[in-house]
Amino acid sequence: MAGLDPTDWRGIREIGHRMLDEVFDRMEHMGEGPVWRPMPSAARQGLKEGLPEKGHTLDALYARYQELVVPYGAGNTHPGFMGWVHGAGTPVGMLAEMLAGGLNANCGGRDHAPIEVEREVIRWALQMVGMPQDGSGCLVTGSSMANFISVITASRAQDLAIRKNGIGGRGLVGYAATTAHGCLPRAFDLAGLGSEALRRVPVLADHRMDVGALSDMIAADRKAGFVPFMVAGTAGTVDCGAIDDLVAIEAVAHAAGIWFHVDAAFGALACLSPRFKEQLSGIEKADSLAFDFHKWAQVPYDAGCVLVRDSHKHAAAFAQSLDYLVREERGLAAGAPWFCDFGPDLSRGFRALKVWMTLGHYGSERMGDMVETCCDVAADLARRVERTEGLALLAPVTLNIVCFGLDGLEDVEVSELVQDLHESGIAAPSTTRINGRLAVRAAIINHRTTTVHTDRMLDAVIALRRDRLRAQTAR
Ligand SMILES: *Cc1c(COP(=O)(O)O)cnc(C)c1O
């Protein structure tokens, strides 16, 4: 039998409709059942069968998917999920993923409509953060890749000969606060600069970069013969959601002739909120910006985005001239620049469709409202933490992240308590360290999370803490 299309189109159509119905059933009842449950070893075992020689029926495979995969997800679509920084998705994004799968576009380049959709989405992103419309950008896996592309672009803008001769011996150094995400030192590592070439600037008591210290560090590095080339501010730190003073950082960076980058992985979405926009001032001056549509914008994974103010510098860092990828004036090989000129990927999926449909359907106003509602839920949780004896708010709540300590418990007990909470299925916060102390960390990224869910989480934390204190006195 040649080709892979079904002979029985009616059969696949039926099962396809059933799948779609069951996905909607699940989405409609997303808050029911546990947030997360551990995957039993029998289920893990059930996914090991070796490469099948003769294929299974789609019915049989779908049944295995329902039995072995669906019940054991991370739970980030459930309103009780408050850990790390996870988006929750929407039915609209899900449908767009399905449509994109049907189209199977390769968005590396060439002249076709899906490329125009991605160009439109990049224009929207530039508009959202206030960067000029002639900037460039592309959709990538996530902010890790977007930050990496920014580091590559900034270093090549500093010295284009790196592309041919490598990074060696140039003494390039960059700066980010101690609170910056781990993907930034990793980007320096992957770029061949070395993670130590990312100088870590101390933060003030409000968890924002000490910009005075930044100036001193740049001057000291210059004096020592290093070549400062990049400063990265963060809009929404991963630990407690602080927003660096982007206006002040931009002023220092540009006065020193240094590339100004912003990691706004989730914080960028706050640009759509009239209430929080002001705090992100300076973001519009970024030379490059990394953020995610798959976090606060609720687009299904994965959908990161990198934006670059100067499209020529962006393309200069990545574009190649290859006989088998030649650009023409007309025909399918027209339409340069191609997205493969803006990052390391050649073949690229149609991520833009789910972004276009999500933002296109909900609109910027409703997205801004959703962001504010998440922050309201976080503020309510913070107030309850402050009112509750034995709990201590460990960092100011700038946006949507609440970090609190549990008095009377050692760090290891706090971490065990959070693991207990995960296994209870009631809620899934994560942990981080704030000023040396282990914190329970609730990030309200999920558009489905309300105070009902944060109350349930906090009630469970209070009860689990009480049990542990009782066990201590009994000992
Ligand atoms: C999540 C996050 C990242 C990494 O983004 P990914 O999409 O997970 O690669 C980088 N910086 C910050 C501030 C983040 O919150």
Domains of the chain by residue range: 105-349
d(Cα 74, Cα 260) in Å, to the nearest integer? Answer: 35
Residue 14's contacts (CB-CB under 8 Å, 6 or more residues apart) are none
Dist. CA 424 → ligand 1 center (Å): 27
Q: Which tokens is 258 given?
A: 């240094």
The number of the ligand 1 atom at minimal distance from the alpha carbon of 304 is 7
In 389-429, which residue ranges form alpha helices assigned H by DSSP? 411-424
Dist. CA 123 → ligand 1 center (Å): 22
State the pLDDT at residue 41.
97
Amino acid (1-letter code) at residue 438: L
Q: Check: CB of residue 311 under 8 Å from CB of residue 129.
A: no
289 CB within 6 A, ligand 1: no
Angle, helix 91-103 to helix 9-28, in steps of 10 degrees? 160
Query: What does pTM read for this prediction?
Result: 0.97
Dist. CA 314 → ligand 1 center (Å): 21
Q: Which of 142, 182, 65 is nearest to 301 (CA)?
A: 142
Q: Check: CB of residue 209 under 8 Å from CB of residue 216.
A: no
142 CB within 6 A, ligand 1: yes
Cis bond upstream, residue 302 (ω within 30): yes
Q: Which tokens is 146 given?
A: 């977007």
Listed as ranges, residues in the chain with pLDDT below 70 are 1
d(Cα 385, Cα 363) in Å, to the nearest integer? Answer: 34
292 CB within 6 A, ligand 1: yes
Dist. CA 405 → ligand 1 center (Å): 24
Dist. CA 438 → ligand 1 center (Å): 21
203 CB within 6 A, ligand 1: no
The number of the ligand 1 atom at minimal distance from the alpha carbon of 145 is 9
Protein residue with its CA nearest to atom 15 in ligand 1 = 238
Q: Residues 314-318: contacts with CB within 8 Å, 24+ apart?
A: 314/136, 314/137, 314/153, 314/288, 314/341, 314/342, 315/136, 315/341, 315/342, 316/156, 316/157, 316/160, 317/149, 317/152, 317/153, 317/156, 317/157, 317/163, 318/149, 318/152, 318/153, 318/342, 318/343, 318/344
Query: What is 105-349's CATH number?
Result: 3.40.640.10
State the pLDDT at residue 475.
77
Q: Which of 61, 86, 70, 87 is nearest to 23 (CA)?
A: 70
- Other CB atoms closer than 10 Å to residue 429's CB: what's the count? 26
State the pLDDT at residue 1.
65
Protein residue with its CA nearest to atom 5 in ligand 1 = 143
Dist. CA 276 → ligand 1 center (Å): 20
